Amino acid sequence: MNSVISAERKKDLLDFCRKLGINFNDLKLLDLAFHHRSFSNENYSGRLMNNERLEFLGDSVLGMATATFLYEDMVENPEGDLSRIKSVVVSEKSLAPIARNIGINRMLVLGKGEEMSGGRDKDAILADCVEAIIGAYYLDSGFDAAEDLVLSLIVPEIRRVQQNKGEKDYKTLLQEFFQKAEKTCPVYELVKKTGPDHDRTFWVKVRLNTREFGPCSGKSKKAAEQNAAKLAWEELNSPNFEF
């Protein structure tokens, strides 16, 4: 970015780096990582003065660093186990709490509309910013430094999942996987409800293009959707599955 960083903003950026144990040579690059497109749309007439390109880059660095760690850490596990854990720990559901923990929500630069709609606490914006910071650090200091940053953030999440302490959100996993693979979202359909009002059982199926999975049951619609997503996710990751 060409704008001059104010003394107050520079102090905030340096404090952020110090808490993470990192050092940026170019603070403008780090500052850009916090700029959401809503701000550039309102202030730069839609010019690329936001963190989306850094997010694109950081996503790849995050994936590579996480995959390498899992490959070296879980030498007795098959590819399916590595893929499952990687999908969980690099997901929006895992990255958003990390973002809040390291103070990204306080550092975001948002447009007025996004600010008023609660954008500072939206999981998608927070997770994207984590990736943008990783991308910025990669450009600023190289892959080894960026990898160290990734592992400092992600390894605790990996350990939680390995110890079965991480909650597996199969709907999120399925949506993120399917969006990347097919550029569309899973569709959930409530098939039926059984039982009395005080003890309902819900039956839901999920459709991925022309393939349907389920129906699966649950004591709430949300639980039934999770079970249907789990069924689809496990079949998607089976060795012989094809769309």
pLDDT recorded at residue 129: 97
pLDDT recorded at residue 169: 76
- The last residue of one of the domains, among 132, 162, 192, is 162
Q: How confident is the model at residue 167 (pLDDT cuts 50, 70, 90)?
A: low
- Looking at the 3D structure of the chain, how many domains does it have? 2
CA distance 27 to 111: 21
Side chain identity at residue 3, one-letter code = S
Please report whether residue 83 resides in a domain: yes
Higher-pLDDT residue of 134 and 79 is 134
CA distance 152 to 131: 14
Q: How many CB atoms lie within 10 A of CB 37?
A: 20
Q: How many CB atoms lie within 10 A of CB 116?
A: 9
Element (H, E) at 99: helix 92-101
Tokens of 130: 């984590």
pLDDT recorded at residue 45: 64
CA distance 158 to 81: 12
The answer to whether 204 and 189 are in contact (CB under 8 A) is yes
Kindly state the average pLDDT of the residues 28-43: 91
- Does the pLDDT at position 242 exceed 80? no
Q: Which of 59, 114, 140, 169 is catalytic?
A: 59
Helix (H, G, I), strand (E, B) or coil at 187: strand
- Does the pLDDT at position 138 exceed 70? yes
Q: How confident is the model at residue 47 (pLDDT cuts 50, 70, 90)?
A: low
Please report whether residue 2 resides in a domain: no
Tokens of 137: 């650090």
pLDDT recorded at residue 243: 60
Are 127 and 42 part of one and the same domain?
yes
- The last residue of one of the domains, among 141, 162, 183, is 162
CA dihedral 57, 58, 61, 67 (to 10 degrees): -120
Please report whether residue 205 resides in a domain: yes
Are 145 and 227 part of one and the same domain?
no
Least Cα distance to 129 among 86, 159, 90, 99 occurs for 99
pLDDT digits (tens, 9 = 90+) for 180-232: 777 788 999 999 999 888 788 999 999 998 899 999 999 889 889 999 999 99
Please report whether residue 168 resides in a domain: no
Tokens 């997503």 identify what position? 229
Least Cα distance to 42 among 95, 106, 116 occurs for 116
Q: Which of 131, 157, 169, 225 is catalytic?
A: 131
- Does the pLDDT at position 235 exceed 90? no
What is the domain range of residue 180? 173-236
Higher-pLDDT residue of 34 and 185 is 34
Strands 211-218 and 201-208, how do they pair? Answer: antiparallel
Least Cα distance to 227 among 181, 191, 199 occurs for 191
Please report whether residue 241 resides in a domain: no
pLDDT recorded at residue 236: 83
Are 104 and 26 part of one and the same domain?
yes
59 is annotated as an active-site residue: yes
Q: What CATH number is attached to the domain comprising 199? A: 3.30.160.20
pLDDT recorded at residue 198: 76
Are 179 and 157 part of one and the same domain?
no
- Does the pLDDT at position 68 exceed 80? yes
pLDDT recorded at residue 74: 95
